[in-house]
């Protein structure tokens, strides 16, 4: 099996990312995602498959991994990238997100956190991202943390700097802050999918990011699995924390699932592939999470083709007509 490898996207002078990455929030998370250490073999197979097919970058976070498993996602990515022997090995890139813990108050706390991530990864962090902005609840915490990211960049400890869950106003002031220090914001990671159009429709982030030359990374592009179509009715729900949320959303999003299914069939693709492809057509770099090689293989099929403009618009029209969308991350700023 060989997929069409698409050209990499330049996000910084020395960092090129595949047009789709892989999210690894589930790799170590028991509470939401039902992770168990016995899954590590299948996760390594997932990693190997993706890299071998040219999807060479992985998104993680230093807060990923529940309880005693804190940092597990980074540790697994470190092991997998060290042990990987196949094609595209030199292109592997890891993007991590540093959490805005209340005890992280100084620039040095960010530098220390990034060093810890690098230790777990056994390699330098390629793209360091601030996981969220404290602007809504502790605004004075933000500048020292941004300063820490700027120093990481200026000291050559990372290849690129990104932000996450930032709205337009907040992004502009961070942009200015970094510009004064000679640092470029390379990426902005936001929750973006057919069920989470808020960052584009309400926050107008697409236009702003184009203007500032910031690439948009779309997280949860499958709305936590909902857009794959496998959780189609109330008898087929995931266990754990997603259950309640899906129960609420499912009745309202039926029209979208039907349209997604129809457009997927017209293209000979699956709903997951079509939902991810839609994010790519909207100019973002999606990072669907995958828990096993089967899911990874399916998600790889989102590459190598594009929905027509009419199909992109039709999906968006139906999505915008729904009376419910995915809830936004509580840390998302305006």
Q: Which one of 170, 220, 277, 333 is in contact with ligand NAP (CB under 6 A)? A: 220
For residue 249, which of 265, 238, 264 has the smallest C-alpha distance? Answer: 238
For residue 6, which of 308, 306, 329, 236 has the smallest C-alpha distance? Answer: 306
The H or E element spanning position 188 is: strand 185-191
Return the structure tokens found at 166.
Answer: 């930032």
Give yes or no for residue 230 binding ligand NAP (CB under 6 A): yes
Q: Which one of 150, 289, 307, 333 is in contact with ligand NAP (CB under 6 A)? A: 289
Choices 17-25, 146-154, 197-205, 246-254; region in contact with ligand NAP by CB under 6 A: 17-25
Give yes or no for residue 165 binding ligand NAP (CB under 6 A): yes
Whether the CB-CB separation of 141 and 171 falls below 8 Å is answered with: no
Q: Which of 154, 265 has the CB closer to ligand NAP? A: 265
**In whole angstroms, how close is the CB of 59 to ligand NAP at the nearest point?**
4
Give yes or no for residue 269 binding ligand NAP (CB under 6 A): no
Residue whose tokens read 């605004």: 139
- Burial class from Cβ neighbours inside 10 Å (0-12, 13-18, 19+) for residue 85 reads exposed
Residue 64 a catalytic site member: yes
Give yes or no for residue 197 binding ligand NAP (CB under 6 A): no
Site string for ligand NAP, 58-87 (x = CB under 6 A): -x----------------------------
The alpha-carbon radius of gyration of the chain (Å, integer) is 19
Map the footprint of ligand NAP across residues 103-162, applying CB under 6 A. 131
Whether the CB-CB separation of 210 and 183 falls below 8 Å is answered with: no
Question: Who's near 271: CB < 8 A, 6+ residues apart?
Answer: 227, 228, 229, 257, 260, 261, 264
Phi-psi region of 300 (alpha: psi -120 to 50; beta: other; left: phi over 0): alpha
Choices 138-146, 247-255, 290-298, 309-317; region in contact with ligand NAP by CB under 6 A: 290-298
Q: Closest residue to ligand NAP, Cβ-based?
A: 23
CA atoms within 13 Å, Cβ hemisphere of 35? 27
Q: Which of 264, 310 has the CB closer to ligand NAP? A: 264
Give yes or no for residue 189 binding ligand NAP (CB under 6 A): yes
Choices 45-53, 196-204, 216-224, 309-317; region in contact with ligand NAP by CB under 6 A: 216-224
Which residues are near ligand NAP by CB under 6 A? 23-26, 33, 59, 97, 131, 164-165, 189, 219-225, 228, 230, 238, 272, 287-291, 295, 298-299, 329
List the catalytic residues: 64
């Amino acid at each position: 099996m060989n997929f069409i490898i698409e050209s990499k996207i330049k996000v910084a002078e020395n960092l090129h990312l595949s047009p789709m990455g892989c999210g690894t929030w589930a790799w170590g998370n028991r509470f939401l995602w039902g992770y168990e250490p016995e899954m590590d073999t299948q996760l390594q197979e997932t990693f190997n498959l993706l890299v071998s097919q040219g999807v060479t970058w992985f998104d993680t976070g230093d807060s990923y991994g529940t309880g005693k498993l804190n940092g597990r996602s980074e540790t697994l990515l470190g092991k997998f990238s060290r042990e990987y022997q196949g094609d595209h090995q030199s292109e592997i890139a890891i993007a991590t997100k540093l959490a805005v813990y209340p005890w992280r108050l100084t620039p040095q706390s960010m530098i220390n956190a990034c060093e810890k991530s690098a230790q777990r990864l056994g390699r330098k962090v390629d793209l360091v991202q601030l996981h969220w902005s404290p602007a809504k609840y502790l605004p004075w915490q933000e500048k020292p943390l941004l300063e820490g990211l700027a120093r990481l960049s200026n000291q050559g400890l990372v290849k690129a700097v990104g932000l996450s869950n930032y709205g337009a106003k907040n992004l502009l002031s961070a942009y200015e802050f970094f510009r004064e220090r000679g640092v470029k914001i390379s990426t902005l990671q936001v929750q973006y999918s057919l069920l989470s159009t808020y960052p584009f429709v309400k926050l107008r982030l697409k236009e702003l990011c184009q203007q500032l030359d910031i690439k948009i990374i779309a997280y949860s592009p499958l709305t936590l699995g909902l857009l794959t179509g496998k959780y189609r009715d109330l008898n087929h729900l995931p266990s754990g924390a997603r259950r309640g949320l899906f129960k609420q959303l499912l009745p309202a999003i039926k029209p979208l699932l039907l349209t997604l299914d129809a457009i997927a069939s017209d293209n000979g693709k699956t709903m997951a592939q079509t939902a991810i492809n839609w994010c790519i057509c909207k100019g973002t770099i999606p990072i669907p999470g995958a828990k096993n090689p089967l899911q990874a293989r399916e998600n790889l099929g989102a590459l190598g083709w594009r929905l027509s403009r009419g199909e992109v618009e039709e999906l968006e029209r139906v999505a915008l007509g729904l009376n419910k969308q995915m809830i936004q991350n509580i840390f998302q700023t305006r």
